[in-house]
Amino acid sequence: PEICIKVRFKPPKVAPRYHGRHILNRHPDGLEKCIGCELCAWACPADAIYVQGADNTEERRFSPGERYAAVYQINYARCIFCGLCIEACPTRSLTMSNEFELARDSREDLIFTKEQLLAPLLPGMEPPPHPMRLGTSEKDYYVGALTNPGSSAGAERAVRSETAENAGTTGDDK
């Protein structure tokens, strides 16, 4: 007789605002949102984040600002997943995913680098470094509907067209 019963593992469902692994987001053209300000590292009570900023040049631009994070590391052996780093980020570069399986065999593997944390390039994105594509100045990236967090570029265009269609109505005419 067979003693062991095979059970299929189903990953548990997590709450929509679950604090999982961090993600460094990108602008729709592929430039990084992180400007290397180090506010996330200062806000971290566990001292789990290390950021080393560097200056962008016109030839090598990684973010729309004058600075970018040359080195970005999160030590998940120290991180308490409190989310204070997310609140401190002025550009909404850092967000938390629903990924919770972070177990590793060694402590060194728990230190995630910038390459591991960066969001993948989506279709239409260009890997940095490259010049700004969404406007002529840094302000174009931070003002307006160019970089609506949590949406794709297609969704942003749909929202803008809906807004333009509804601009002529006041809402009182029924």
**Other CB atoms within 10 Å distance of the CB of residue 27:** 22
Residue 69 has pLDDT above 50, yes or no: yes
Do the beta carbons of residue 41 and residue 23 sit within 8 Å?
Answer: no
- pLDDT at residue number 89: 95
The helix or strand, by DSSP H or E, that contains position 154, with its residue range, turns out to be helix 153-166
Q: Structural domain boundaries of the chain?
A: 22-136
In this prediction, residue 75 has a pLDDT band, given cuts at 50, 70 and 90, of very high
| Other Cβ atoms within 10 Å of 40 Cβ, number | 24
What pLDDT was estimated at residue 140?
67
- Mean of pLDDT over the chain: 81
pLDDT digits (tens, 9 = 90+) for 83-93: 999 999 999 99
Interatomic CA distance for residues 97 and 116, integer angstroms? 13
Question: How much is the average pLDDT of 77-106?
Answer: 94
Q: SS3 for 91-115, per residue?
A: CCCEEECCCCCCCCCCCHHHEEEHH
Does residue 23 surpass a pLDDT of 80? Answer: yes
The tens digit of pLDDT for each residue in 106-161 reads 999 999 999 999 999 888 888 888 887 777 676 666 654 444 444 333 333 333 44
Domain 22-136 maps to which CATH number in 3.30.70.3270, 3.40.1360.10, 1.10.1040.10, 3.40.50.720? 3.30.70.3270
In the predicted model, what is the mean pLDDT of residues 20-49?
95
What per-residue confidence (pLDDT) applies to 40? 97
Angle at 65 between CA 153 and CA 72, to 5 degrees: 90
Report the percent of the chain where pLDDT is more than 90: 52
Q: Which pLDDT value is given to residue 148? A: 40
pLDDT confidence of residue 92: 92
Q: Does pTM surpass 0.75?
A: no
Residue 36 in tokens: 């290397």
Can you give the pLDDT at residue 171?
Answer: 44
What HEC string does 55-82 produce?
A: ECCCCCCCCCCCEEEEEEEEECCCCCCC
My answer on whether omega of the bond before 129 falls inside 30° of 0, hence cis, is: yes
What's the pLDDT score for residue 139?
67
Question: Of 103, 167, 119, whose CA–CA distance to 22 is shortest?
Answer: 119
